């Protein structure tokens, strides 16, 4: 407890607290700008942090990391352009809700869900880091492969209307994920001699294109259509209702928050799993809950058309990944994801190394980071409510013909700054056009993105697991050596078989009912 007090005392230095708050505000702004994210912001900030005291620099980074996902949900809800990858699912129900005149409620749900997820995550970091880190260490190649398969299995829940189109989308993602050098041979595949493709299609520009540029093209289409018909361009949704969510809504969302926070925390702790996997898995799980309990009731929209759970699920899941991704980093020195890996760089500049030694050599800094996550999540709540109107009004109340080029420019700048290369701008534009065309064809994007994220993980871990087992596939379902993997594989099988079983049961029941009716008549 004395260590926690030390961390708290370090954080309560007015300057350190000030940097934490600056970080939160910066995170909200950075997140809300399409094309910018925490990764890019850190890459710019870390070199500047040389002259700062380590506690200042790290407090700022913690604040920014926590608030970025909230920031991302603002443009997702207001204009259907996700500010960060973490809000790609929020855009679906969030924007639909905003269009129906409840933008304030949508934002309020996003903020409250994020804060809830964030607080659970920072409590786990504060209270259970050592046992959780031991759990994380049990994830080797075998377990990570099975986790990837479980993640891919959640595609089933994201297929939307047409199964064929959904699977097509997933296959497209898997194919794009094979571009780049093969980890097993060290040689490039499908790069056509382009050096920039050697490490695979650059991921940040790809996502910026798929989310940002696609959305911009759709906005332009709407603008042109309205103009042809002689209509004035429609306004973007405005916040006309209250931001605060009432007690009955809170009570209703609580089970979703708990379930998605659990998913987010587990995924966050496992190194290399990543935030996108958490939001997709949470979204998929909660969609079943919504369809069972709320869909079809009066005043409840269909899933994907403004369901409060459709905002609550991804927003609580993504913030639950944040602090928990620091568990393996601080306890073991192993980065949980690409953003927490940047904390290594920030510490390194100060001559510090994350891991058990940090707690011995610099206990004040180590515990300050941990306490800062909790405090940041608590402060985030009032700060977000105070700023959300300003941020959403600042840019997004612009007329559409100004908004479209502004967002395009921001997206392309963000794509460029990822690797400082013009090639990345091309990637973003091509991905945007492909995204637009596929969406016009009714091909859902969720399976594509999940496959892009997981394709490489699955392939690399499969190869290495088979290297270890000398080619035996039994290693994935070995109940003694790899029980975690067995459970994950069974879970994946249940995900995949579930809809088939329920589907055929429904059909069977319908047939029986028909037969009974025929008998009666």
Partner 1 sequence: MRMNWLSKGLLVGLTLAATSAFAADYPSKDVHIIVPFKPGGGVDTTSRILAEYGNKHMTKGKLEVENRAGGGGIVGQTFVAKAKADGYTVLAMTSSVVTNPVLKETAYKISDFKPVALYNMDPEVIVVGAESPFKTIADLVKASKDHPLTVTVAGIATSHHMAGLALEDAAGLKFSYIPTKGFGAQLQAVMGGHVEMGLFPLGEIKKHADAGTVRILAVASDKPMEILPGVPTWQDSGLKIKRWTTFRGWAVPKGTPDAAVKYLSELLGKINADPAYVKQMTDYGFPLAYADAKGFTEVVDDYAAITDKVIKDHGLKEQK
Residue entry with tokens 């020195």:
333
Question: Rounded to the nearest whole angstrom, what is the least distance from the CB of residue 127 to partner 1 in the complex?
Answer: 22
Token code pair at residue 251: 């009570």
Strand stretches in 182-331, DSSP E: 188-189
Of 111 and 429, CB closest to partner 1: 429
Nearer to partner 1 among residue 352 and residue 368 (C-beta): 352
C-beta closer to partner 1: residue 356 or 498: 356
Compute the distance between CA of residue 222 and CA of residue 278 in angstroms, rounded to an integer.
32
Cβ proximity to partner 1: between 344 and 374 the closer is: 344
Shortest reach from residue 184's CB to partner 1, in Å: 7
188 strand-pairing partners: 181
Please enumerate, as own/partner, the contacts of 501-508 that have beta carbons within 8 Å and a separation of 24 or more: none
CA atoms within 13 A on the CB side of 195: 3
Instruction: Please state the length of the chain.
Output: 521
Which lies closer to partner 1 via its Cβ, residue 27 or residue 328? 328
In the bound state with partner 1, the residue whose beta carbon lies nearer, of 327 and 391, is 327
Q: What share of the chain is helix, strand, coil (3-state, %, to 5)?
A: 80, 0, 20
Q: How far is the CB of 198 from partner 1 (least distance, A)?
A: 4
C-alpha gyration radius of the chain: 23
Closer Cβ to partner 1, 145 or 436, answer by number: 145
Residue whose CB is less far from partner 1, 42 or 436 = 42
Site residues, partner 1 (CB under 8 A): 42-43, 46-47, 50, 137-142, 181, 183-188, 193, 195-199, 202, 271-272, 328, 332-335, 341-342, 344-345, 348-349, 351-353, 355-357, 419-421, 423, 460, 464, 467-468, 470
Minimum distance from residue 470 beta carbon to partner 1 (Å): 8
User: Closest distance between partner 1 and the C-beta of residue 263, in Å?
Assistant: 21
Least distance between partner 1 and beta carbon 347 (Å): 9
The string of DSSP letters for 131-177 reads HHHHHHHT--HHHHHHHHHHHHHGGGGG--S-HHHHHHHHHHHHHHH
The first and second tokens of residue 478, run together, are 């070995």
CB of 461 to partner 1, least distance (A): 10
Residues 6+ apart with CB under 8 A from 183: 459, 460, 463
Query: Shortest Cβ distance from residue 393 to partner 1 (Å)?
Result: 33
Q: For residues 291 and 303, is the Cβ–Cβ distance under 8 A?
A: yes
Our CA angle for 14, 20, 22, nearest 5°, is 100
């Amino acid at each position: 407890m004395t260590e926690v007090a030390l961390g708290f005392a370090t954080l309560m230095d007015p300057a350190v607290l000030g940097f934490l708050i600056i970080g939160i505000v910066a995170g909200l702004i950075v997140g809300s700008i399409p094309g910018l994210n925490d990764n890019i912001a850190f890459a710019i900030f870390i070199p500047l942090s040389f002259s700062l005291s380590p506690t200042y620099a790290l407090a700022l980074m913690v604040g920014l990391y926590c608030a970025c996902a909230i920031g991302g949900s603002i443009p997702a809800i207001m204009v259907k352009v996700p500010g960060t990858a973490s809000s790609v699912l929020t855009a679906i129900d969030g924007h639909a809700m905003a269009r129906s005149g409840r933008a304030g409620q949508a934002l309020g749900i996003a903020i409250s869900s994020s804060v809830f997820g964030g607080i659970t995550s920072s409590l786990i970091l504060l209270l259970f880091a050592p046992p959780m880190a031991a759990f994380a260490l049990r994830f080797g190649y075998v377990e990570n492969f099975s986790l990837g398969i479980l993640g891919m299995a959640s595609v089933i829940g994201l297929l939307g209307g047409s199964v064929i189109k959904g699977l097509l989308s997933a296959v497209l993602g898997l194919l794009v994920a094979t571009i780049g050098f093969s980890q097993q041979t060290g040689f490039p595949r499908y790069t056509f001699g382009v050096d920039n493709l050697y490490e695979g299609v650059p991921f940040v520009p790809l996502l910026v294109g798929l989310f940002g540029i696609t959305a911009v093209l759709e906005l332009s289409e709407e603008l042109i259509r309205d103009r042809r018909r002689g209509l004035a361009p429609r306004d973007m949704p405005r916040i006309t209702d209250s931001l605060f969510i009432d007690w009955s809504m809170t009570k209703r969302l609580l089970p979703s928050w708990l379930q998605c926070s659990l998913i987010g925390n587990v995924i966050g702790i496992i190194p290399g799993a990543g935030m996108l996997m958490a939001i997709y898995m949470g979204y998929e799980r909660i969609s079943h809950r919504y369809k069972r309990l709320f869909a079809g009731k009066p005043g409840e929209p269909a899933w994907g058309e403004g369901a409060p759970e459709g905002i609550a699920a991804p927003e609580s899941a993504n913030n639950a990944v944040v602090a928990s991704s620091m568990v393996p980093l601080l306890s073991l020195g192993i980065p949980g994801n690409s953003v927490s890996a940047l904390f290594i760089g920030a510490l390194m500049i100060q001559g510090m190394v994350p891991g058990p030694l940090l707690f011995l050599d610099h206990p004040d800094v180590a515990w300050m980071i941990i306490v800062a996550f909790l405090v940041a999540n608590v402060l985030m709540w009032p700060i977000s409510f105070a700023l959300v109107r300003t941020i959403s009004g600042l840019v997004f109340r612009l007329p559409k013909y100004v908004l479209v080029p502004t967002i395009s420019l921001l997206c392309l700048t963000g794509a460029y700054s990822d690797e400082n290369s013009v090639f990345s701008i091309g990637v973003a534009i091509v991905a945007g056009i492909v995204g637009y065309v596929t969406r016009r064809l009714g091909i859902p994007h969720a399976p594509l993105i999940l496959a892009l994220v997981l394709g490489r993980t699955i392939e690399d871990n499969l190869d290495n697991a088979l290297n270890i087992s000398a080619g035996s596939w039994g290693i994935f379902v070995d109940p003694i050596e790899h029980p975690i993997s067995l459970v994950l594989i069974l879970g994946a099988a249940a995900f995949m078989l579930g809809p088939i079983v329920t589907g055929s049961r429904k059909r069977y029941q319908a047939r029986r009912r028909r037969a009974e009716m025929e008998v009666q008549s």
